[in-house]
Structure 1
């Protein structure tokens, strides 16, 4: 089959020729290996027992392979990281090593972080533009330019289409499956993560069902800032012998090391008049389809309003999952534009900006996400407040919605259907 380019391919085209070694991080099945193979000549697969045993016996053998070299599932033999780091110390010529891993080794598994030698790129599931279900035309890079470009374009996607994409997943190998096979694969994906992947990382899970319950609570808290104590309470209702806080933190850390959790950090602007800002992350799983399966939902049940969300933010479970899909579709091109993504929420919750895309000079693109086809003045109040507070530090203000047309309101705030978002 022909390879369908991903947004991260443009990043690799731009960086790999100059950077000697790059690690591509992301959850299993996201397409890391297939993408990396497009940029290398040699391949070393450490999930193959014969390769793994040889490299474990002598990690320096990896350096005999043809370069550019892809080292797949490098975390299976963490010593390879240090071998690559030392090789880069000796020769920093660009385009030598790509390291792909579906888990981050525990602290101490490698002798050195690789800082200054091995770059890191996060790979996420496919955005709507990468899935080919829409014709995107509103560039995140243009929105970050500060020029407030004219917004125009029509989107064919409707609410039911967005719900279908939430359920269908952005894992490329699952896109062609039937509805039943997709449910089976996603259920198995989560179960295998708890039963096999977490123990392989060294965490003894005495009660796998307890970790699954915590993960379901996390799914119900999608797009919220619910505290981890609330997640634990939701996972163990009516139980007196709840897992300890340390156990809950261990669950979180293990799942994060598998790249299954992808929280949006709180934005803490420096040198600004903003005060009383919350510092907790907004919860997201790697793919909103995982949350759908954990909560036992479907396209029809979401459209019928089923699902009980957890956390301080208002809204339906469908609204939360639409925000999660939009967050995925915005984080990927933001990373390609060399920007970071956070969220803003005051401690008492009276002001909130769903996503803040931060340029390296500290200026921001502020984004609100609405499960609505039309936008009212009430929907713009937090964006107007932020502009009043930060002035020229705000590059642009955008509302992402489920409507059919992109346009600018009279107050300058842009309205963009999610399906039109492009790199």
Structure 2
């Protein structure tokens, strides 16, 4: 099956000629192994008991032939990280080690961070532009760099297509499956997280069904800053019992440890020119398809009365995923902005390496009116030249620049 080039390939192209060791982190199923294996001369899979045993007999990693060595699921043998770091300290050549991991090992407290030796990046599920469903016409990277690219293009995508992509998921292996099998596979993915992935990290839930309900409540809070207390309240089971606060926090921490939560932090500028801003994160699962399945929905049911309230939040989740993947290629940070009193909000704030800001609003509508851009214009008045550009992502047909300078772009036309 043909390989779809991922945004992270650009980072690998850029850094592997210089970095002796490169780590790719992310949830299971996002394509880390396939992407890394295409560049490896030697492949070691630590989820294979035989290969794990061989590696345990060579803790200093001294028996490998020349070339790039892939150590897949390295967290199963945490001392591998330190062994790689020591090779780097001794002058390992560029591109010597590729490490992929789907969890931060629970016994890694004695493991060196690898800072300055091992370059780490996060790999997410496929952004919409990585899926090859529409030819993109607007480069978000060029927008971040302030290159004021020409804005134009027309898309055949309509709302139903976006809903299909939300349900199809960004997990490469799952999205290729027929619809019915895809839903079953996503359900299995979630169940495996509860039954196997978390226990492998040392977290055993006494009441697995309560954990699943908490995950569903979290999914229902996608693209919001709902308090964890509110999420916990929504976890109440039939007998009125809620998980303890400490238990709910353990759910959050351990799910983050396997990269399943991908919260957008509250953005804070260097000064206080915007006044007091909220710090609460915006809740996002790694993939909006997981939220659908946790709530026992598929993309067709989003158009029913039960699913309709989730259309806007999950479209924002899909847009957020795409923005984050594109922004990472530019070494840009992504946050969200909300004033303490809630009178000003901007869905996504992308801050480039030189401090330039691209503010992004996500609108489910196909058209954009003056009311939709008021927060963006307010932000431009506050920050002036720090604003590289202002963007509204829509479900519309055309990409263009408004007379006030704001870029309007359908999500399907937004590329890397």
- Smaller-chain TM-score bracket: over 0.9
The question of whether the paired residues in 2 share the 8 Å contact of 1:277 and 1:347 is answered with yes
What is the Cα deviation at residue 148 of structure 1? Answer: 3.0
Distance in structure 2 (CA, Å) of the matches to 1:138 and 1:381: 23
Distance in structure 2 (CA, Å) of the matches to 1:175 and 1:240: 37
What is the Cα deviation at residue 418 of structure 1? Answer: 0.3
The question of whether the paired residues in 1 share the 8 Å contact of 2:360 and 2:391 is answered with yes
The question of whether the paired residues in 2 share the 8 Å contact of 1:82 and 1:110 is answered with no
The question of whether the paired residues in 1 share the 8 Å contact of 2:395 and 2:410 is answered with yes
**3-state SS, counterpart of residue 177 of structure 1:** coil
Could you tell me which of 360, 367, 370 is aligned with 1:374? 367
CA RMSD of aligned residues (A): 1.5
**1:344-423 to 2 correspondences below 5 Å:** 344-423=337-416
Distance in structure 2 (CA, Å) of the matches to 1:56 and 1:348: 55
What is the Cα deviation at residue 284 of structure 1? Answer: 0.6
What is the Cα deviation at residue 271 of structure 1? Answer: 2.0
What is the Cα deviation at residue 240 of structure 1? Answer: 5.5
Structure 2 partner of 1:335: 328
Change (3 A) 1:78 1:62: farther
1:23 aligns with 2:16: no
**3-state SS, counterpart of residue 334 of structure 2:** strand
Structure 1 partner of 2:312: 319
Cα deviation, 1:137-171, whole Å, max 9, x if unaligned, reads 10011111224333111111000000000001111
Change (3 A) 1:111 1:163: same
The question of whether the paired residues in 1 share the 8 Å contact of 2:292 and 2:298 is answered with yes
What is the Cα deviation at residue 66 of structure 1? Answer: 4.1
What is the Cα deviation at residue 241 of structure 1? Answer: 4.3
Structure 2 partner of 1:245: 245
Cα deviation, 1:381-404, whole Å, max 9, x if unaligned, reads 110110111111111001000000
What is the Cα deviation at residue 325 of structure 1? Answer: 0.3
The question of whether the paired residues in 2 share the 8 Å contact of 1:125 and 1:286 is answered with yes
Distance in structure 2 (CA, Å) of the matches to 1:238 and 1:362: 50
Cα deviation, 1:17-62, whole Å, max 9, x if unaligned, reads 1111111001111100000011111111111101212323442246
Change (3 A) 1:170 1:226: same
1:277 aligns with 2:268: no
Q: Which runs of 5+ in 1 are unaligned?
A: 309-315
The question of whether the paired residues in 1 share the 8 Å contact of 2:4 and 2:131 is answered with no
Structure 2 partner of 1:132: 132
The question of whether the paired residues in 2 share the 8 Å contact of 1:79 and 1:110 is answered with no
Cα deviation, 1:393-416, whole Å, max 9, x if unaligned, reads 111001000000011111111100
Distance in structure 2 (CA, Å) of the matches to 1:33 and 1:147: 34
Count of residue pairs the alignment pairs up:
416
Distance in structure 1 (CA, Å) of the matches to 2:98 and 2:147: 36
Q: Any runs of at least 4 consecutive aligned residues in structure 1 with deviations exceeding 4 A, and if so which?
A: 237-241
The question of whether the paired residues in 2 share the 8 Å contact of 1:194 and 1:208 is answered with yes
Compute the TM-score of the two structures, normalised by the length of structure 2: 0.97
**1:19-418 to 2 correspondences below 5 Å:** 19-61=19-61, 64-106=64-106, 108-236=108-236, 241-307=241-307, 316-418=309-411
Compute the TM-score of the two structures, normalised by the length of structure 1: 0.95
Distance in structure 2 (CA, Å) of the matches to 1:239 and 1:387: 51
Distance in structure 2 (CA, Å) of the matches to 1:61 and 1:150: 50
Change (3 A) 1:126 1:381: same
Moved more, 58-67 or 403-412: 58-67
What is the Cα deviation at residue 204 of structure 1? Answer: 1.7
**3-state SS, counterpart of residue 405 of structure 1:** coil
Change (3 A) 1:86 1:159: same
What is the Cα deviation at residue 361 of structure 1? Answer: 1.6
The question of whether the paired residues in 2 share the 8 Å contact of 1:162 and 1:322 is answered with yes
